[in-house]
């Protein structure tokens, strides 16, 4: 294998958009438009309006900033599963001192080589060659160290702590993100685009439904019996709704 430091982007063939080694069904899943911008802000833990800026761009002081997670502004009000997943990764960097806008050149290069949703695929993170290509892209665009997706340790390309946290939360199916745990504190809570319209759920029961029933007076035991859940699962669903309703918006 050629060391990453000796390679350059022009030496690596580009993968045309849509031809990454994932099947058509997986591509269709990533394209599934099921969220709003406010959904993304709430479920990923962003300040209101952040998802729109990341996905549709924004203007400031007379200058327009292109979106980070799309090739160009579309003006659409819906967000795909693939875009939700990619926003989940960017959220790992939201507290950094360097703006995530600086990730855009790297994501553009990765999109050219992996397809429309490079950050929602397993290849850039779980495969050695994929991580090496990410490292090359980072070097070529001069990506700030605090925003890097992979780093070189002992001559090998490894995931950074932020990227590893994201990857650990994802369940990959056929090479792409098939489901994701939105918060590490509530591992029973899962988002799956093929179930409950992609909304957070515990065993196909939406967390917001459980929280709503609980607020209406149902006990934890009653909810567990009604929805065939364990008390731990009910507690995690309620805890997740508290998380997205309080400290995620802080």
Name the residue among 139, 136, 134 with its Cα closest to residue 149. 134
In this predicted structure, the answer to whether residue 8 has a pLDDT above a threshold of 70 is no
pLDDT at 94: 82
In this predicted structure, the answer to whether residue 9 has a pLDDT above a threshold of 50 is no
Share of the chain above pLDDT 70, in %: 86
pLDDT in tens, 140-199: 999 999 999 999 998 889 999 999 999 999 999 999 999 999 999 999 999 999 999 999
Q: Return the percent helix, strand and coil in the chain, to nearest 5.
A: 50, 15, 35
Q: What is the distance between the alpha carbons of residues 44 and 189, in angstroms, rounded to a whole number?
A: 13
Mean pLDDT, residues 220-243 taken together: 97
Share of the chain above pLDDT 90, in %: 78
pLDDT in tens, 71-100: 999 988 999 999 999 999 999 998 767 789
Name the residue among 42, 70, 44 with its Cα closest to residue 58. 70
Question: The CATH number of 184-250 is which of 1.10.1740, 2.30.29, 2.60.120, 1.10.10?
Answer: 1.10.10
Any idea where the domains of the chain sit in the sequence?
4-180, 184-250
Q: How confident is the model at residue 3 (pLDDT cuts 50, 70, 90)?
A: very low
SS3 of 203, please? coil
Q: How confident is the model at residue 23 (pLDDT cuts 50, 70, 90)?
A: low
Q: Look up the pTM and report it.
A: 0.85
pLDDT at 11: 41
- The mean predicted confidence, pLDDT, of the chain is 88
pLDDT in tens, 28-47: 899 999 999 999 999 999 99
């Amino acid at each position: 294998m050629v060391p990453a430091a000796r390679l350059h982007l022009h030496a690596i063939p580009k993968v045309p958009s849509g031809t990454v080694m994932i099947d058509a069904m997986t591509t269709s899943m990533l394209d599934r438009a099921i969220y709003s911008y406010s959904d993304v802000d709430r479920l990923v833990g962003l300040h209101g309006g952040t998802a729109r800026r990341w996905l549709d761009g924004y203007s400031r002081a007379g200058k327009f900033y292109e979106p980070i997670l799309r090739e160009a502004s579309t003006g659409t009000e819906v967000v795909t599963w693939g875009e939700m997943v990619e926003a989940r990764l960017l959220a790992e960097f939201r507290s950094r001192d360097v703006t995530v806008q600086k990730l855009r050149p790297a994501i553009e290069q990765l999109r050219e080589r992996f397809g429309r949703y490079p950050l929602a695929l397993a290849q850039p993170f779980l495969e050695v060659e994929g991580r090496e290509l990410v490292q090359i892209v980072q070097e070529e665009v001069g990506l700030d160290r605090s925003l890097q997706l992979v780093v070189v340790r002992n001559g090998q390309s490894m995931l950074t702590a932020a990227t590893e946290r994201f990857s650990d939360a994802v369940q990959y199916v056929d090479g792409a993100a098939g489901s994701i745990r939105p918060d590490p504190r509530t591992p029973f809570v899962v988002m799956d685009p093929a179930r409950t319209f992609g909304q957070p759920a515990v065993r196909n029961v939406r967390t917001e439904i459980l929280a709503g029933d609980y607020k209406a007076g149902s006990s934890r035991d009653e909810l567990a019996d009604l929805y065939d859940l364990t008390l731990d699962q009910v507690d995690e669903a309620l805890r997740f709704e508290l998380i997205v309703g309080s400290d995620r918006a802080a």
